[in-house]
Every structure is written in structure tokens, then in C-alpha cells.
Amino acid sequence: MSHSNNCLNCDEPVSKKFCPNCGQKTDNHRITFKHFIFHDILHGVWHIEKGILFTLKEALLRPGKAALDYISGKRIRYYNVFYLTLIIIGLLIFINHVQNELSHYYFNTRLNPETDNAGKKIDTFLSSYSKLIIFAFIPLFAINSFIVYGRKKLNLSEHFIIAGMIYLGVIIINLISMLLFFIEYIDPTYLFFDFLNYATPSIILLFIIFNYYKTFSENYSKLQNILRVFLFILLLFIELIILVILIFGYFTNWEFKLKMVY
């Protein structure tokens, strides 16, 4: 173990366990095999996993309040919410691909080769840019809350943190729902899966409404908060409709004549 009055990394004078300039620990063990395995590898992996699990739990149970805690400076326990969102989105896309292949195999759901050209282009576009499209909802959340919740006096970047945490909760719910659909290949209880198809969007909508309401409940009266949540959702639906129109219009030469052939 090395003891020094100066930081071994930046040469800043130190008197406590961590350097006030760069944050490095002032006690540095010599790198041995034991230290490398149990500290550098296991401790590092556990620290990352612990941060990921804590962030996932907070995003699902209290995303708005967790985001406000993070904004206020309580950050050490959290994993980067945007990195984690990209990881979950990647997992969603992989699971969706697996489910599509299983559906093709079990239920013969491949599109007919005669499907119109516009439909093929849209399918290719969504497949190629699915991660970007899903991630693009975060800016919509952030801009809408920045417009609607001005009394909180948060800047746009801070609204991105709130949006990222709540949206992480949304995609966790979606991930759970997708995993439940694997039961279909063991016991195709169609009534349950029809229910799940309708229940998941409803749960996600209620999750967004409830958590935006809770996040800003201390800044507005109940009626004011309800009206602002309603405005937030209304703006989101308008933006989604515009996005859908732009995508379908572009790939159909603005004729909107799509034919789905199974």
C-alpha cells in the first residue's frame, strides 16, 4: 500500500481518503493477482450492476422523484439513464426479432410477397431506424414538460433527465410485456394475449400520467396539475400523429394507399 502527502495521480496535496482535485483514492494497493480479481474486476462489475439495478427500480417505482433527486445532486447511486435506455431498447429490438421469427415458424405470419412497395419501404425504414425512433420519444417528453411545467423553473436539460427516467420506466413495462408473450409459444391462451395487447398501452399511458402528476404535484394545485398533465398528453398525441403522417406520407407519395396482405 502506498501512502503519500500528495495525490499520485495529479500531485495535489491530500489529507483525506480521496483527492479533492481528481477524486482518486489516496491509499493505492500494489496491483497483485488477488487485488486484480477481487477489487478491479469483481468490485467494478458489482458496482456497475448495483447502479443498473437501483436505476431500473427507481425508474419503475418513482421515476419523477428519482429524477428530481438526481437533478438536486444525489447522483452517485445512479447508472447513466440514457446509456441504460439504449441498452434496454437494444434488448427490446432483439426480443422483438426473436418473437417475429418464432411467430413466422409457429403461426406462419410472414408478409405475402405481394405486399405493396410502400409497405415494404416503411417496414425497412422502421427496422433500420427502430432504435433512433424509440429513443426520439425522450426529446418529445422533455420539450412538452418544459412547455407545460414552467413554474418548476427547470431548464430543458433537466427536463431531459425527468423525461429519460420516466421513459426508462415505460420501456421496462414494455420489456416485461414482451417477455410475457413468450408464454404464447408454450400455451397459446389467446384471450390472455388479446388482453395483454390492450392492457400494455393502457398501463403505459397511466404510468406516464401518474408519474408526471407526482413529479410536479408540489408546484401546482390538483386541478392545475391535472390540466397540465392533460395538455402534456395532448401535445404528445398530436406529435405522434404528425410523425405517423410524415412517415406514411413520405413512403406513399402522400397518397396513403397502404395494403396489408397476410
pLDDT tens per residue, range 5-29: 777 678 778 777 777 777 666 665 5
Lowest-confidence pick of 48-57, 161-170, 175-184, 185-194: 185-194
Burial classification of residue 115, based on how many CB atoms lie within 10 Å of its CB (0-12 exposed, 13-18 middle, 19 or more buried): middle
pLDDT band at 97 (very low <50, low <70, confident <90, very high): confident
Partners of residue 28 on adjacent β-strands: 2
176, pLDDT greater than 60: yes
Output the 3-class SS for the chain: CECCCECCCCCCECCCCECCCCCCECCECCCCHHHHHHHHHHHHHHHHHHHHHHHHHHHHHCHHHHHHHHHHCCCCCCCCHHHHHHHHHHHHHHHHHHHHHHHHHHHCCCCCCCCCHHHHHHHHHHHHCHHHHHHCHHHHHHHHHHHHCHHHCCCHHHHHHHHHHHHHHHHHHHHHHHHHHHHHHCCCCHHHHHHHHHHHHHHHHHHHHHHHHHHCCCCCCHHHHHHHHHHHHHHHHHHHHHHHHHHHHHHCCCCCCCCCCC
Contact assessment for residue 115 and residue 251, using Cβ atoms and an 8 Å cutoff: no
Asked if the model's pLDDT at residue 68 lies above 50, the reply is yes
pLDDT exceeds cutoff 60 at 112 = no
| Residue 182: predicted pLDDT | 77
pTM of structure? 0.75
User: Residue 233 — very low, low, confident or very high, per pLDDT cuts 50/70/90?
Assistant: very high
Percent above pLDDT 70 for the chain: 70
Cell output for 45: 462489475
Contacts 24+ apart (CB under 8 A), 245-252: 247/122, 247/125, 248/122, 251/118, 251/121, 251/122, 251/125, 252/118
pLDDT, tens only, 140-168: 999 999 999 988 889 999 999 999 999 99
The values of phi and psi at residue 186, to 5°, are -95, -45
Of residues 97 and 92, more confidence is placed in 92
- Please write down the long-range contacts of 255-261, taking CB distance under 8 Å and 24 or more positions apart: 257/116, 257/118, 258/116, 258/118, 258/119, 258/122, 259/115, 259/116, 259/119, 260/115, 260/119, 261/111, 261/112, 261/114, 261/115, 261/116
**Identity of the amino acid at 148:** V
Check residue 11 and give left, alpha or beta (phi > 0: left; psi -120 to 50: alpha). left
Share of the chain above pLDDT 90, in %: 34
Residue 25, CA atoms < 13 Å, CB-side half-sphere = 6
